A and B are shown apart, each in its own frame.
Chain A
């Protein structure tokens, strides 16, 4: 049948086209990004508005911003996810309300988070342009994805384990910490890595919260420039900055790829354990 074959070939063509596009972007990134890459690039602070020097101080700032976001979002996210997944204590209506508002929160554009973070953390709370402001803004952004992943991993724990814990007379707290948490740990790790990935990729929410300063940060109240903000600034505002922008982008994307590989590994181990 000719129309059958035509349809299938169109789909093959489209899909291979999508692959080719992605390959184009990745190869372009690697090719142009390799040029300035060196050990000094990874350890030194930028000089001459980023045209020279490296991204060492920005790696530190980025790590602090992401670390702050995770440190704040993980406990809140974990406890919220427990409430949603082990819902016996929560009314169904409350759980629906929490889920609904998280769905909307996860869709709020990142530039709006930037506006909010600037108004709330920088000005109202008086934290100024700082790593803390940026990290707290990102914490709000990654909370929905953390909660969703952790909730799913808790739901995947078989009910027999809860019943066994209950039959042994374990308290809810003990059951949570000794039974559910270990069983769900790989899923929690997946959520964690997804959250870190989201935070690393973020630009728009950070420009007006953690700011532009390229020095090595001294403490959490210092302004610190994230890698993604550096890429934007070099490409848009610094003539001759494209080379360094590409090198920074290569470092950023490599970090994200490593994260992605970790997620896959953890997810595979998780599903193997569930199957066993």
Chain B
């Protein structure tokens, strides 16, 4: 659209509208800075006293005695996230491939709807199912069952839809000519999927995986309910552990002074880590934002 003709003055209410639109958008855009500012502000006390490195060098977490080692919990976050990815990546990519390339159209539609339903289940409900159904299965009677494996399985269920839906979307963006060309060369449907479609969609699939990793790092409730929450290094599939997010949820209720400030340091680290993953996903060909794809609960 070209600008207004010379001598034209805009109606007053259009000018008001322009101001309203701009200030709304400015407010929306500055929210992320506001969040960062307040988390940083509360973390400031602990940071200026000890420095960020101090929280990631000690392994002891005795907040009432002034020992604030976040390292075992950071390791636990890493372990549950890795476990969830190992489980969810093959399943999610498989489900995406199935929908885009193998399934008859009605089956694909039904399956996609189911995956979207899975994406819409609140994390606290996954946690409840994990606590009541999954944990006793893993424990097998002689063991609590809460720990790395239970947390990874529940997390995997939560990030699977993100991976499946981004994979499917990336595969659907592969130009039809490529697939037709491969078919003309005599490649069967499976060879087309493996040799042509997947390599062409690689960036989108990786973006989905990166996005899912960010979600897994930030997820709180479901992990909190099945991880056992003992501060410990990840030692085995059935050994309990406590993640960074779980630690905040458990202790914010009663933490004061320096202890509270250290919890905000953990929040700050989480926020920066997840922001990094968003930027990374963007680098891999524009993070395909899903209607239900960002972190919940």
Question: Interface residues, chain A, CB within 8 Å of chain B?
Answer: 1, 3-4, 7-8, 10-12, 14-15, 17-19, 21-22, 25-26, 28-29, 32, 75-80, 82-84, 88-90, 94, 97-98, 101-116, 118-120, 124, 140, 143-145, 147-149, 171-173, 176, 194, 197-198, 200-205, 207-208, 228, 231-232, 235-236, 242, 245-246, 249, 252-253, 256-257, 260
Asked if A109 and B217 sit within 8 Å, CB to CB, the answer is yes
Asked if A252 and B122 sit within 8 Å, CB to CB, the answer is yes
Asked if B13 and A171 sit within 8 Å, CB to CB, the answer is yes
Asked if B278 and A104 sit within 8 Å, CB to CB, the answer is yes
Residues of A within 8 A of B14 (CB): 171-173
Interface centre among B13, B30, B32, B117 (most CB of A within 10 A): B32
Asked if B24 and A110 sit within 8 Å, CB to CB, the answer is no
Asked if A112 and B42 sit within 8 Å, CB to CB, the answer is no
State which of A7, A101, A120, A231 has its C-beta within 8 Å of the C-beta of B124.
Answer: A231
Known: A83-B24, A203-B297. 18 other contacts (CB 8 A): A11-B98, A18-B111, A19-B111, A80-B27, A82-B21, A101-B28, A101-B29, A103-B287, A105-B32, A105-B35, A108-B218, A110-B218, A115-B264, A124-B38, A201-B124, A201-B296, A256-B121, A257-B117
Q: List 9 A-B contacts (CB under 8 A).
A: A11-B94, A29-B125, A76-B28, A80-B21, A102-B28, A102-B29, A107-B218, A143-B28, A236-B131
Residues of A within 8 A of B47 (CB): none
Asked if A15 and B21 sit within 8 Å, CB to CB, the answer is no
Please, what's the 1-or-0 string for B266-297, where 1 marks a CB less than 8 Å from any CB in chain A?
01001100110110001000010101101111
Interface centre among A78, A109, A201, A242 (most CB of B within 10 A): A109
Residues of A within 8 A of B29 (CB): 97-98, 101-102
Q: How many B residues touch the partner, as a band? A: 35 or more
- Shortest CB–CB separation between residue B74 and chain A, in angstroms? 14
Asked if A120 and B120 sit within 8 Å, CB to CB, the answer is no
Asked if A109 and B114 sit within 8 Å, CB to CB, the answer is no
Asked if A140 and B120 sit within 8 Å, CB to CB, the answer is no
Residues of A within 8 A of B253 (CB): 207-208
Asked if B35 and A110 sit within 8 Å, CB to CB, the answer is no
Interface centre among A77, A98, A124, A200 (most CB of B within 10 A): A98
Taking the complex as formed, is B188 at the interface, i.e. its CB lies under 8 A from any CB of chain A? Answer: yes
Taking the complex as formed, is B115 at the interface, i.e. its CB lies under 8 A from any CB of chain A? Answer: yes
State which of A7, A83, A204, A253 has its C-beta within 8 Å of the C-beta of B193.
Answer: A7
Q: Tell me, in angstroms, the Cα distance from A145 to B293 when the chains sit together.
A: 10
- Shortest CB–CB separation between residue B242 and chain A, in angstroms? 13
- Shortest CB–CB separation between residue A26 and chain B, in angstroms? 8
Asked if B277 and A109 sit within 8 Å, CB to CB, the answer is no
Residues of B within 8 A of A88 (CB): 1
Asked if A232 and B225 sit within 8 Å, CB to CB, the answer is yes
Q: Tell me, in angstroms, the Cα distance from A72 to B289 when the chains sit together.
A: 23
Residues of A within 8 A of B129 (CB): 25, 28-29
Closest 9 CB pairs of A and B: A109-B218, A79-B24, A201-B122, A14-B94, A83-B21, A204-B220, A7-B190, A11-B98, A15-B98
Q: Tell me, in angstroms, the Cα distance from A11 to B25 when the chains sit together.
A: 44
Q: Tell me, in angstroms, the Cα distance from A78 to B27 when the chains sit together.
A: 12
Please, what's the 1-or-0 string for B149-163, where 1 marks a CB less than 8 Å from any CB in chain A?
000000001001000
Asked if B189 and A144 sit within 8 Å, CB to CB, the answer is no
Segment among B54-62, B177-185, B231-239, B244-252 that sits at the interface with chain A:
B244-252
- Shortest CB–CB separation between residue A122 and chain B, in angstroms? 11
Asked if A19 and B271 sit within 8 Å, CB to CB, the answer is no
Taking the complex as formed, is B11 at the interface, i.e. its CB lies under 8 A from any CB of chain A? Answer: yes
Interface centre among B28, B211, B294 (most CB of A within 10 A): B28
Q: Tell me, in angstroms, the Cα distance from A143 to B209 when the chains sit together.
A: 24
Taking the complex as formed, is B196 at the interface, i.e. its CB lies under 8 A from any CB of chain A? Answer: no
Q: Tell me, in angstroms, the Cα distance from A197 to B294 when the chains sit together.
A: 13
